[in-house]
A and B are shown apart, each in its own frame.
Chain A
Amino acid sequence: MSDLIRKTAVELSELMASGEASAVEITQAHLDRIGAVDGAVHAFLHVDTEGALAQAAAVDQKRAAGEKLGPLAGVPLALKDVLTQDGVPTTAGSKMLEGWKPPYDATVVQRLKAAGVVILGKTNMDEFAMGSSTENSAYGTTHNPWDLNRIPGGSGGGSSAALAAYEAPLAIGTDTGGSIRQPGAFTGTVGVKPTYGGTSRYGLIALASSLDTPGPCARTTLDAALLHEVIAGHDPMDSTSINQPVPAVVDAARRADVAGLRIGVVKELGGEGYQPGVEARFHEAVELLTKLGAEVVEVSCPHFEYALPAYYLILPSEASSNLAKFDAMRYGLRVGDDGENSAEKVMNLTREAGFGAEVKRRIMLGTHALSSGYYDAYYGQAQKVRTLIARDFTKAYEQVDVLVSPATPTTAFAIGDRVNDPIAMYKNDLCTIPSNLAGNAAASFPCGLADEDGLPVGFHVMAPVMRDDLLYQVGGALEAALAEQWGGVLMSKAPELEVSR
């Protein structure tokens, strides 16, 4: 039974279709795995054993009744705790929402349920998705299954670690500055940030509204594409949702062909500050793509160097406003309500106690950046940089079909290494942030292990708005070529986790 956890979503689907395994068996196998390894990994904040088994049983019943089911029906999934699920605790990694059970499903969750995907539980994350390591979670750090002393990346470290620990074949993340792609890179898994507006934000507890994008995480490109297809598409509940057909991502992942594709290597994303092992794997992957028939050129995006400072003005500004709703009045934590304190005092005490240090830091930064007298110099200026970065992309896409870079400057770092150095922590997202600012599609695919530490390296692909299919075309081709070299996907090189009972 335990080999069920090693299967891809596609394989699981086939097993169910052929009657070799039921959704309940598959779900139970993953719940068992969570029970066995999550003490060490801590990918999950909440495991919904009953709910998951009930969903799985429902799928089995439908299958028995001969109902037509989607390709992911009965496949288990780990859901980042930033998306609401009706009646299931949702915390966004914060004490502020401890015990809160949302009364509604996020659109992404509705679509997962409609597709018969079994939601195992909610995964750990940096508090309100602010961080690159899960160390900012109010509920403890998630450990990287490749090396338990290292962080799994963040903010969606829980989702990616769940994949790498074989606790789930599929996961949902959200990407504001790299929170899907960076954990994907650090755990040797696939992480896709769809085009902004390609997936609905309804029910996503907002960090920065103009940047947040839910997306699929998986161990293979095709699995990610199948999940992408389930969750993407126009949603009238999200005004920023794009009303266009979902790009043909599954076809692209299956085609996995880069012959004639023009690939631009971003000059500014490499060199100083990049770990040699990361650069080595990246360039090998570029060469591999060249051999597969891609045309590779170097492309300059001169404004990318301003992406990080612009991002750290826009994000905190929006976050400071988005997080104002956490005031103890209607839900979540309430501190100091002794019948004497005023509402204002209770708000202050609650926000003081409920928010962690990084959240407070960003609320203060954002409040300052939006203040009258500073707005133009900070928020206003950052928006101009954002426009310039979008223009860099537009110009680049006139020359090439996709852009590529390492997903991160380094591999996964040790737990505790950067907690006291926010700037070093922020620099993790150098390569991923420009795509969020411009709203285009981007993904990280595993491309090997760095020589110096034996840890996974992510290959970053960026594609124009609503050309998410190109990501899968490149990712699929790279994955197939590398699998041929390695004799399997990168994850098969991961160390065995000690199973506890």
Chain B
Amino acid sequence: MTAEVFAIEDALAQYDPVLGLEVHVELNTKSKMFCGCPTEFGAPPNTQTCPVCLGLPGALPVVNARAVESAIKIGLALNCEIAEWCRFARKNYFYPDMPKNFQTSQYDEPIAFNGWTEVVVDGETYRIEIERAHMEEDTGKSTHVGGATGRIHGASHSLVDYNRAGIPLIEIVTKTIEVAPDKAAAVARAYVSMLRDLLLALDVSDVRMDQGSLRCDANVSLKPRGSKVLGTRTETKNVNSFRSVERAVTYEITRQAAVLASGGKVLQETRHWHEDTGVTTSGREKSDADDYRYFPEPDLVPVAPSREWVEELRATLPEAPSTRRVRLQEEWGFTDLEMRDVINGNALEPIVKTVELGVSPAAAKKWWLGELARAANESGKDLADLGVGPVDVSNVQQRVDKGELNDKLARQVFDGLLKGEGSIDEIIESRGLALVSDDSALIEAIDRAIAANPDVVEKVNSGKPAAAGALIGAVMKDLRGQGDAAKVRELLNAKLGI
């Protein structure tokens, strides 16, 4: 009897993981890839459709020029070559949420290819080679009803929403990623996180992972330490958060290691990631014989972006992430170690935004890497999906700066925000968090502290002013931490004549 999964350390002791990541990005164009339908998320089912995206007989696609522009920008930002001439191709397979039963995609002529990018993990920079970035259309969305897991097996029926059908997608495919085995999963996470930042900076996608506008498929295979022969890979589909990418890759490594170590074979298949249980389960068996019968899309003409246009777009690109990191570190005055913590904590973008709102870099870092990082960690969410954003952090910090809150109370405000207890004002009100800076209330508390601690007063009076600290502690305790500490010290010192 062998274990179903290995401990990750045991797996990595024997096998080298090889990764490949395919990321689908929904673009934020106003209209769909091949028709004029709107792309707004969350509209009632099947209200954003037309003959083209429903695949009605006779309807024809027309390429969305803005989507091509976004694809080129993404390609350029990933240091890709941009095709001078490329075509769309049909990927043929039957599925009810695919209106034409072929997906209009790109096959051997992607718009962007041969690129690279870098990610930083634990202070180390890793280069990731990009094979291609190509344009395609999204499918509709199936909802399987009646099954226990929301999957098609066991479902009594399925509902299909074609609003998503035809939304422009860019699929970004890496070449194989082979890094230090113990960094593989973290590099995968960092890569997806980096892509998200990049896409936001390019303003080509909303990159809402919770809405599926960035979806990652992780290909994982193992090869025995030192072997040059690639193992059989699995493709874990739709891993939809940075943390899940890391967890899913780690899980697959441990699972495949157990299979291989017991003399078994890894099946080439797609696998489903289960966020709740942290495991992948077998999906559809996939073989190289899967035949999509690709051929050039005869309903569309080739896309041939002029070099002038490509250069115009290149000129609009924002600063490269690595350059930007160096610049920000300098501007913020962070040490290398501090900056590494920021990057590893995925806190760079939130801090940038918070600083933009007028908060000092140190304060922004304090909240994002402290209270909020802890909450993210506990809830298994990404910082970006926490529900508390830069505006909240800025509002809380402003109150700290004005003396309405201290750090301790601010932490409680964040706790309230995370628990959805309402606005900052409501939380302060309901939790009674307002800082007491009213002199009379403070003096009353000081008097109580002096009365209750005659021994301490004695010490102070006998020439040991440092002993007054205990009185401050008593006052703060009396005020349940809500006293303005600086004011308490000032008033107490006056009272004691020190």
Contact = CB atoms under 8 A, between A and B. Distances in A.
Contacts of B90: 321
A183 B90 CA distance: 32
B46 to A, nearest CB: 10
A397 interface: no
Contacts of A370: 92, 293-295
Given A103-B56, A202-B58, A327-B96, A321 B291 contact: no
A209 interface: yes
A22 to B, nearest CB: 33
B61 interface: yes
Contacts of A97: 57
A343 B156 CA distance: 11
Sorted nearest first, the 3 A-B pairs with minimum C-beta distance are A324-B101, A209-B298, A370-B293
Contacts of A327: 94, 96, 101
A320 B94 CA distance: 12
Interface in B260-315: 289, 291, 293-295, 298-301
A90 B56 CA distance: 12
Interface string A84-100: 10000010100001001
B301 A239 contact: yes
Interface in B34-86: 51, 54-63
A100 B61 CA distance: 21
B100 interface: yes
B158 interface: yes
B126 interface: no
B300 to A, nearest CB: 5
Interface string A199-232: 0011111101110000000000000000000000
A204 B58 CA distance: 4
B293 A203 contact: no
Interface of B: 51, 54-63, 90, 92, 94, 96, 99-102, 158, 160, 289, 291, 293-295, 298-301
A370 B158 CA distance: 31
B92 A343 contact: no
A365 to B, nearest CB: 13
A84 B293 contact: no
Interface in A340-354: 343-344, 347
A210 B298 CA distance: 5
A208 B300 CA distance: 13
A331 interface: yes
A362 to B, nearest CB: 14
Contacts of B96: 327, 329, 343, 347
Nearest to B292: A372
A83 B56 CA distance: 12
Interface string A315-327: 0011011001111
Contacts of A371: 291, 293
B158 A343 contact: yes
Contact of B62 (A205, A239, A324): A239
Contact of A90 (B57, B100, B293, B294): B57
Main secondary structure of the interface of A (DSSP, over half): loop
17 contacts: A100-B57, A103-B56, A104-B51, A106-B58, A203-B59, A205-B58, A237-B60, A237-B62, A239-B61, A321-B92, A324-B92, A324-B102, A327-B94, A329-B96, A330-B55, A344-B94, A347-B94
Nearest to A236: B62
A110 B118 CA distance: 53
A102 B301 CA distance: 26
A367 interface: yes
A205 B289 CA distance: 31
A172 B102 CA distance: 29
B94 A206 contact: no
Nearest to B100: A325
Contacts of A426: none
Nearest to A82: B58
A240 interface: yes
Contact of A324 (B54, B60, B61, B94): B94
Contact of B301 (A92, A240, A375): A240
A239 B57 contact: no
A379 B61 CA distance: 23
A102 B102 CA distance: 21
A298 interface: no
Given A372-B289, A375-B295, 15 more contacts: A83-B58, A84-B58, A90-B57, A102-B56, A104-B56, A201-B60, A202-B58, A203-B59, A236-B62, A239-B62, A327-B96, A327-B101, A330-B54, A330-B55, A370-B92
A238 interface: yes
Interface string A244-261: 000000000000000000
B142 to A, nearest CB: 9
A325 B63 CA distance: 20
Interface residues of A, number: 44
Contacts of B294: 370
A201 to B, nearest CB: 6
Contacts of B56: 84, 102-104, 330-331
Given A103-B51, A327-B96, A317 B295 contact: yes
Contacts of A92: 57
A100 B56 CA distance: 11
A325 B57 contact: yes
B101 A209 contact: no
B135 to A, nearest CB: 14
B295 A321 contact: yes
Contact of A330 (B94, B99, B102, B291): B99
Nearest to A202: B60
Contacts of A321: 90, 92, 102, 293, 295
B60 A238 contact: yes
A236 B301 CA distance: 12
A394 B92 CA distance: 34
Contacts of A102: 51, 56-58
Contacts of B51: 102-104
Contacts of B289: 372
A318 B59 contact: no
A210 B302 CA distance: 13
Interface string A417-455: 000000000000000000000000000000000000000
B31 to A, nearest CB: 14
A422 to B, nearest CB: 23
B336 to A, nearest CB: 51
A347 B97 CA distance: 13
A317 B294 CA distance: 10
A91 to B, nearest CB: 10
Contacts of A329: 96, 160
A369 to B, nearest CB: 9
A240 to B, nearest CB: 6
Contacts of A379: 295
A331 B55 CA distance: 10
B164 to A, nearest CB: 15
A240 B62 CA distance: 9
B166 to A, nearest CB: 14
B33 to A, nearest CB: 12
B497 to A, nearest CB: 87
B293 A372 contact: yes
A350 to B, nearest CB: 12
A138 B100 CA distance: 23
Nearest to A332: B57
A337 B51 CA distance: 24
A78 to B, nearest CB: 18
Given A325-B55, A343-B158, A370-B92, A318 B298 contact: yes
Contacts of A202: 58-60
Contacts of A375: 293, 295
Nearest to B91: A321
A318 B54 CA distance: 19
Given A103-B56, A203-B59, A330-B99, A209 B295 contact: no
Nearest to A331: B56
B301 A324 contact: no
A472 B3 CA distance: 81
A324 B102 CA distance: 8
